[in-house]
Amino acid sequence: MYFYSGSKFSKPRYVILTLEEAVKIKITCYLRQLRDGKQWYASWRASSKDSLVYRRVSKPTGVPERLREKDRGKEEAKQVGLSLREEWLKDEAKPVAPRVPTYGEWISDFYTPNSRYLNCRADHGKPVSAQWAHTIDLMIRKHVLPKWKNLHLDQFNVLTVEDWLADLPLSPKSRRALSYAALRIPLKEAVRGGIIKTNPLSELQAPAGSSRRRDIFTLEELAKLFPRDEKRLAEIWGSLRKGAMFALLAYSGVRTGEVRALRWGDVQGSYLKLCRAVKRGGEIGPLKMRGTGEGRVAILLPHMAALLSLLRGKEPDSALIFPSEVFPSKSYTAGYFSNTLTRVLKKEGISKKGRFLDCHSMRHSFNTIIRPILPQALVMQMMGHRSVAVNDVYNHPSAESQMKQLEGFTDAIDAAFKG
């Protein structure tokens, strides 16, 4: 039970009394002058160990002043005060259901730096990228809060939310991110915290993702984009260093984040030692490799090794191989890779119409080229894949390649049908 304590000279504060302490509250009766005469009022007081007084708001008893009876109304007022106190004690003893916060109140600091949710994820070894959390927070403020800010967490309706998601003018990927990170996860945390009993959006169906499969670059297109002539390579990409950076994607099968984090000490003769990558927030961290936690090795073709040797000069091992021109101590952004490739493809007359081509398509191309040559286990090791299913996604065999694989099996298949 909370009792207010304070005065105009001290800051208000509340203390908690047990039911046993509350029963000991003394009833005080006093007269107040009203328009229709004087009436008895009752109030209850209690004192703590430090002699501070805790007062409850006074209540009228409905007992008028009785002058002719030497004010026997005071005793009646005291009895009324006791009954008022008992009613109050019963009301205070009743469990009060906690108020369910609105979505706006609950989400206000959910994805802000050092929030409870983000710190909890980090403590459990599953940290959330600061850049990703910032992006989700911006999307929530732009798209979700205008619609659901004042709705209480237990009032969400799954069908209404699905209709709203379907009408959002966003890509399927963005709408999926909102359904998961902005709605399902916060409400799931509210259940874990005892704020609501059940998650009303546990059955929320996210919008379907894009089923479009990446395409690959042909050998002719790769030769056009990455000529062995160093002068021509520099003309296409703007500089020899930029040309080498993109050529590594095509001829080594590394990811853009891994290329951006490469240091000169990672060049080991005819190989690249990959142990770091640039994360979403721009920081450089270790590769997400399960098991030993070690990185992997990528092949460095002779012409690429010669190109890197030409670029190095007197660079120390700790220096980035491909630092940003604007901020030399940092790497290029992910957006720079996408924008540069689009510009170069247009410049060199390589059409993207009807094709899904991006920087990651070069990694798909590399996997498709080396897969018929090397054992599958070695291909997966070079690509950094942990399952055959994932590696299969990166394989785009041509019709001619499939025909070549089927050579010699015609007679065996024909014999099977003959029994």
pLDDT digits (tens, 9 = 90+) for 247-272: 999 999 999 999 999 999 999 989 99
Higher model confidence: residue 352 or residue 206? 352
Find tokens 């398509």 and name the residue.
361
DSSP secondary structure string for all residues of 319-345: SBSSB-SSSTTSBPPHHHHHHHHHHHH
pTM across the whole model: 0.58
Which residue in 399, 373, 371, 372 sits closest to 383, CA to CA? Answer: 371
From 10-14, 82-86, 123-127, the region with the lowest mean pLDDT: 10-14
| CA pair distance 252, 273, nearest whole angstrom | 11
Q: Are 160 and 183 in contact (CB under 8 A)?
A: no
Is pLDDT above 90 for 231?
A: yes
Q: What is the per-residue pLDDT across 275-321, written as a single tens digit (0 to 9) for each?
A: 888 876 677 888 765 434 467 888 899 999 999 999 988 889 999 99
Q: What is the per-residue pLDDT across 9-21, written as a single tens digit (0 to 9) for each?
A: 333 333 445 555 5
Which residue in 175, 186, 172, 118 sits closest to 143, CA to CA? Answer: 175
Rank 28-32, 56-60, 362-366 by mean pLDDT and report only the highest.
362-366
Give the amino acid at 166. Answer: A
Q: What's the pLDDT at 142?
A: 93
The average pLDDT across 71-82 equals: 77
Q: What's the pLDDT at 32?
A: 83
Q: What is the per-residue pLDDT across 17-43, written as a single tens digit (0 to 9) for each?
A: 555 555 566 777 788 888 878 888 777
Q: Name the token pair of 254.
A: 């590394």
Average pLDDT value for the chain: 81
pLDDT band at 91 (very low <50, low <70, confident <90, very high): low
Give the amino acid at 185. Answer: I
| CA pair distance 357, 249, nearest whole angstrom | 13
Q: Name the token pair of 30.
A: 């006093």
Higher model confidence: residue 210 or residue 405? 405
Higher model confidence: residue 252 or residue 212? 252
Secondary structure of the chain: what % helix, strand, coil (to 5)?
45, 15, 40
Q: What's the pLDDT at 79?
A: 81
Provide the β-strand partners of residue 263. 320
Is pLDDT above 70 for 148?
A: yes
| CA pair distance 154, 45, nearest whole angstrom | 39
| CA pair distance 65, 398, nearest whole angstrom | 105
Q: What's the pLDDT at 89?
A: 67
From 38-42, 189-193, 199-203, 305-309, the region with the lowest mean pLDDT: 38-42
Domain 219-403: homologous superfamily in CATH? Intergrase catalytic core (1.10.443.10)
State the distance between the two ends of the chain, measured CA to CA, in whole angstroms.
88
pLDDT band at 5 (very low <50, low <70, confident <90, very high): very low
Is pLDDT above 90 for 394?
A: no
Q: What's the pLDDT at 21?
A: 57
Provide the β-strand partners of residue 15. 3
The average pLDDT across 119-145 equals: 88
Which residue in 329, 383, 344, 331 sits closest to 360, CA to CA? Answer: 383
Phi, psi values for residue 168, rounded to 5°: -70, 135
Q: Are 73 and 67 in contact (CB under 8 A)?
A: no
| CA pair distance 81, 359, nearest whole angstrom | 81
Q: What's the pLDDT at 123?
A: 87
Task: Label residue 214 left, alpha or beta by phi (over 0 means left) and psi (-120 to 50 means alpha).
Answer: beta
CB atoms within 10 A of CB 395: 15
Q: What's the pLDDT at 88?
A: 66
| CA pair distance 370, 251, nearest whole angstrom | 10
Q: Are 394 and 363 in contact (CB under 8 A)?
A: yes
Which residue in 44, 154, 176 sits closest to 99, CA to CA? Answer: 154
Q: Are 220 and 227 in contact (CB under 8 A)?
A: no
Ordered by start, the domain boundaries in the chain are 2-93, 103-192, 219-403
Residues in the chain: 419
The average pLDDT across 327-346 equals: 88
Query: How far lies 48's CA from each of 14, 18, 22, 294, 366, in Å?
Result: 12, 12, 11, 64, 79
The average pLDDT across 89-118 equals: 83
